[in-house]
Structure 1
Amino acid sequence: MNLQELHVSEKDVSAVSLFKGELATATSIHLRKNGILKEHITKTSALLLCISGKVTYQDETDKQIVLERGDYTPIEPNVKHWLNAALDSQLVLLK
C-alpha cells in the first residue's frame, strides 16, 4: 500500500482515513501545489507530519512553520489553523 495511491481525486485538497483506533486516528492528507486547507479547529491535540512536498502551517497565534519532508509540528486544540502548499505535498495527521 502507498499513501499516494489513496488520493486519486483532482481536488486541491484530499483527506483519507488511514487508521481509526479506540484512542487515536491517522489521516492521510494530500495538497496540490498552491492548495489551501482552509482554517479549522481540532478539539484534541494533534501532530502533523510532512511526508513529501512543502507546506506552510499557520495558526491564529501567529505561529508559522514551513514543513518539508520529515518535518512535523504539534497542533494545539481549539486554535484555528490552516495549511498552504508550495508544492504537491503528502502529510499524515495523527490525533
Structure 2
Amino acid sequence: MKLNYLHISDKAVSTLQLFKAMEGNVIALKILKNEQLKEHSTKSPGLLVCIDGNVIFENENHKKEILLSGEYIIIEANVKHWINAKMDSNLLLIK
C-alpha cells in the first residue's frame, strides 16, 4: 500500500490516523504544494518523517529545517510550530 493513496481528497492539509498503539499513534499527513499546516503545539514530543516531497518545518524558537524525502525532525512538546509545503508532500507523524 502507498501512503499517497491514503488521502483521497484534495484538501490543502489532510490527516489520517494510520496506526494506534497502546501508547501512541502514527498519523499520515499530506500537505499540498504552497499550503501550510497552521501554527499549533502538542503536549507530547513527536517524530516527523518526510516520506516524499519538500517541506519547511519552523517553530517559535526560530528553528527552521527543510525536510526532503527520507529526512526527519523531532518535534518538541509545548513548542508552537508549523509546516509549509514547497511541493505536494507526504509525511508520517509518530507520537
Q: CA deviation at 1:16?
A: 0.4
Q: CA deviation at 1:4?
A: 1.0
Any gaps of 5 or more consecutive residues in structure 1? Answer: none
| CA deviation vs aligned residue, 1:15-63 (integer Å, no higher than 9, x gap) | 0000111111100000110010000111001000000000000000000
* Bigger strand share: 2
Who is 2:15 aligned against?
15
Any gaps of 5 or more consecutive residues in structure 2? Answer: none
Who is 2:75 aligned against?
75
Question: TM-score if structure 1 supplies the norm length?
Answer: 0.98
What secondary structure, in the 3-state scheme, does the structure 1 residue paired with 2:23 have? coil
Question: TM-score if structure 2 supplies the norm length?
Answer: 0.98
Moved over 4 A (4+): none
Who is 1:31 aligned against?
31
The separation in 2 between residues aligned to 1:36 and 1:60, in whole angstroms, is 15
The separation in 2 between residues aligned to 1:19 and 1:10, in whole angstroms, is 22
